[in-house]
């Protein structure tokens, strides 16, 4: 079991990525660390100045020579005293520096007391958690730090920066403030029950609530886009064997990852690759061809896995073969797939794509694909339309500027806030006198909004958020 970690303990960790690099950083954070920092670096450190110093082990032998920067509280990343040591970026030397920090912390000073009792290794995300605890950033911004580090595309990185700058938090806070005003109004009215209707009318409570709902709708729409950008879109290519799923997959991801052969049933397992379409991370998964009668037990398992993959896809690209559109057996098998997709409630998520348009005569009336997309994995014709349709089917509407990253929990909190405001509007509009219930709806809406920036987040949720950070962040 994980040891309970005291937020007052000083902490230390390697802050740069593991592996070798020109420079590596060891970071410490804690209260009243100036003395310790001076002992470690062999000289007092001027605040926020890069000081060239030598760090030695307990025997006096040099571990490394590098730069030390001391950021006194509260002007630091965590809001506590922070020391950053920029050393040579090798994993061994950085670990030796961390070990030296820990051993020096335990060493007694002139008054026989340890220099920095309780210095310990930082848990993942603990520096950022402290920044949050010390009001350096709010919870949505702290999450944006992790999103920026994890960003898989330039668009995702820019959007995470916007969240870090407060694009989500500021609007959530502004809406919360407007809610507070209304709550105050309603709570005050509760004290004067005989006047409540006129009171609310005079204060234009209803139009103000409606304006609030509109703002929540707008923010919710943006947050949904931001969550798509952060989490990416999971796309599964499915269809009968030999329709060209693997070829289309390769054409979309731009490499020869999946095996393409004229022999049906070659793709037996799922192959996945993340690509960027308009900056949105799209995880494309190729699957084993869907057919009923396979004698091969390995292929049968593959087919079952295909269906399982379809269940949690955001978009299912159902690849069909134009060259066999007129073949009754093929059409029957496609009808079976359509029925199973509909049965699984997945019809909304399906994008039908007819492949091999290069090999058919479109003037031939038997080649009827309705208004479905027609592509050729071989020539690349129609691929851009497939990419655009994929994004649209997943609900992506945003374009570049103004998008900020968000998480499913933000979307969920906004949905709840919006629902409570909607219920409050319903009660006000109905003119029923249950003003306590309106007050309660507004309180719940306020709580839900507070979860976004972390004002009312239960501790277990906090643990879950910060534990997904890397060490040293």
Least spacing, CB of residue 81 vs ligand GDP, in Å: 59
Please, what is the angle between helix 408-430 and helix 167-190, to 10°?
Answer: 30
Transcribe 308-376 into DSSP letters.
HHHHT-SEEEEEEEGGGTT-HHHHHHHHHHHHHHHHTT-GGGEEEEEE-GGGS-TTSTT---TTSEE--
First to last CA, the chain: 22
Per the CB < 8 A criterion, the answer to whether 228 and 410 are in contact is no
Least spacing, CB of residue 258 vs ligand GDP, in Å: 7
Least spacing, CB of residue 232 vs ligand GDP, in Å: 23
Least spacing, CB of residue 383 vs ligand GDP, in Å: 10
CB atoms within 10 A of CB 97: 24
Size of the site for ligand GDP (CB under 6 A): 20
Least spacing, CB of residue 359 vs ligand GDP, in Å: 4
What is the β-pairing status of strands 350-355 and 373-374?
A: parallel
Running DSSP on this structure, what letter comes out for residue 114?
B
List 260, 301, 326, 462, residue binding ligand GDP (CB under 6 A): 260
Least spacing, CB of residue 260 vs ligand GDP, in Å: 4
Least spacing, CB of residue 163 vs ligand GDP, in Å: 39
Residue with smaller CB distance to ligand GDP, 12 or 251: 251
List 29, 155, 169, 267, residue binding ligand GDP (CB under 6 A): 267
Question: How far lies 59's CA from each of 6, 103, 104, 120, 448, in Å?
Answer: 31, 12, 11, 22, 56
Binding mask 310-329 for ligand GDP (x = CB under 6 A): --------------------
Distance in angstroms (rounded) separating the CA atoms of residues 69 and 321: 64
Q: If binding is defined by CB under 6 A, does position 189 make contact with ligand GDP?
A: no
Listed ranges 11-19, 164-172, 260-268, 385-393: which one lies at the site for ligand GDP (CB under 6 A): 260-268
Per the CB < 8 A criterion, the answer to whether 411 and 220 are in contact is yes
Q: Which residues contact residue 95 at a Cβ distance below 8 angstroms, ignoring those fewer than 6 apart?
A: 14
Residue with smaller CB distance to ligand GDP, 38 or 264: 264
Listed ranges 78-86, 169-177, 254-262, 464-472: which one lies at the site for ligand GDP (CB under 6 A): 254-262
Residue with smaller CB distance to ligand GDP, 225 or 376: 376
Binding mask 272-311 for ligand GDP (x = CB under 6 A): -----------------x----------------------
Least spacing, CB of residue 205 vs ligand GDP, in Å: 60
Transcribe 250-262 into DSSP letters.
HHHHTS--S---S
Token representation of residue 214: 């509109």
Least spacing, CB of residue 370 vs ligand GDP, in Å: 19
In the window 224-243, what residues touch ligand GDP (CB under 6 A)? 241-243
Distance in angstroms (rounded) separating the CA atoms of residues 458 and 462: 7
Least spacing, CB of residue 371 vs ligand GDP, in Å: 19
Residue with smaller CB distance to ligand GDP, 205 or 315: 315
Q: If binding is defined by CB under 6 A, does position 244 make contact with ligand GDP?
A: yes
Residue with smaller CB distance to ligand GDP, 141 or 242: 242
Residue with smaller CB distance to ligand GDP, 79 or 241: 241
What is the β-pairing status of strands 233-238 and 280-286?
A: parallel
CA angle 410, 414, 415 (to 5 degrees): 115
Least spacing, CB of residue 146 vs ligand GDP, in Å: 36
Residue with smaller CB distance to ligand GDP, 362 or 434: 362
Torsion angle in degrees (nearest 10) through CA of 385, 312, 453, 123:
-120
List 247, 294, 405, 453, residue binding ligand GDP (CB under 6 A): 247
Transcribe 35-98 into DSSP letters.
HHHHHHHTS---BT--EEEEEE-TTS-EEEEEEEEEE-TTSSSSSSEEEEEEEEE-HHHHHHHH
List 234, 245, 268, 446, residue binding ligand GDP (CB under 6 A): 245
In the window 366-385, what residues touch ligand GDP (CB under 6 A)? 376-378
Q: If binding is defined by CB under 6 A, does position 397 make contact with ligand GDP?
A: no
380: buried, middle or exposed (CB in 10 Å: 19+, 13-18, 0-12)? exposed
In the window 349-368, what residues touch ligand GDP (CB under 6 A)? 355-356, 358-359
Per the CB < 8 A criterion, the answer to whether 289 and 241 are in contact is yes
Residues that bind ligand GDP (CB under 6 A): 241-247, 260-262, 266-267, 289, 355-356, 358-359, 376-378
């Amino acid at each position: 079991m994980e040891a309970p970690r005291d937020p007052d303990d000083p902490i230390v960790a390697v802050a740069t990525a593991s592996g070798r690099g020109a420079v590596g950083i060891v970071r410490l954070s804690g209260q009243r660390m100036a003395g310790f920092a001076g002992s470690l670096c062999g000289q007092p450190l001027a605040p926020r100045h890069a000081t060239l110093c030598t760090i030695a082990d307990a025997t006096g032998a040099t571990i490394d020579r590098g730069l030390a920067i001391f950021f006194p509280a509260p002007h630091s990343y965590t809001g506590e005293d922070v020391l950053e040591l920029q050393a040579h970026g090798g994993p061994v030397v950085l670990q030796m520096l961390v070990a030296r920090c820990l051993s020096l912390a335990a060493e007694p000073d002139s008054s026989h007391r340890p220099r920095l009792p309780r210095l310990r290794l930082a848990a993942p995300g603990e520096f950022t958690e402290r920044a949050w605890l010390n009001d350096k950033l709010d919870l949505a911004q702290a999450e944006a730090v992790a999103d920026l580090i994890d960003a898989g595309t330039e668009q995702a990185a820019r959007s995470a920066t916007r969240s870090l700058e407060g694009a989500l938090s500021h609007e959530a806070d502004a809406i919360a403030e407007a809610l507070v005003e209304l709550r105050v109004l309603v709570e005050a009215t509760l004290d004067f029950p005989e006047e409540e209707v006129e009171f609310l009318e005079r204060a234009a409570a209803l139009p103000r609530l409606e304006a609030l709902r509109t703002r929540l709708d707008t923010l919710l729409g943006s947050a949904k886009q931001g969550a798509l950008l952060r989490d990416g879109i999971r796309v599964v290519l499915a269809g009968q064997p030999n329709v060209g799923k693997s070829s289309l997959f390769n054409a979309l991801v731009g490499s020869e990852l999946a095996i393409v052969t004229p022999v049906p049933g070659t793709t037996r397992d799922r192959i996945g690759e993340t690509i960027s379409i308009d900056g949105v991370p799209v995880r494309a998964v190729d699957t084993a061809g869907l057919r009923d009668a396979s004698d091969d037990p390995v292929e049968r398992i593959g087919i079952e896995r295909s269906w399982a993959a379809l269940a949690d896809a955001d978009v299912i690209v159902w690849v069909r073969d134009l060259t066999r559109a007129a073949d009754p057996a093929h059409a029957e098998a496609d009808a079976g797939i359509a029925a199973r997709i509909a049965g699984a409630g997945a019809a909304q998520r399906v994008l039908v794509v007819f492949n091999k348009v290069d090999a058919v005569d479109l003037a031939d009336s038997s080649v009827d694909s309705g208004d479905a997309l027609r592509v050729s994995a071989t020539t690349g014709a129609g691929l851009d339309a497939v990419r655009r349709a994929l994004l649209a089917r997943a609900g992506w509407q945003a374009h570049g500027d103004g998008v900020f990253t968000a998480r499913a929990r933000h979307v969920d909190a906004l949905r709840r806030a919006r629902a409570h405001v909607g219920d409050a509007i319903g009660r006000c509009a109905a003119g029923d006198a249950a003003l306590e219930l309106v007050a309660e709806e507004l309180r719940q809406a306020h709580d839900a909004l507070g979860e976004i920036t972390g004002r009312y987040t239960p501790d277990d949720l906090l643990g879950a958020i910060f534990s997904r950070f890397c060490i040293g962040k």
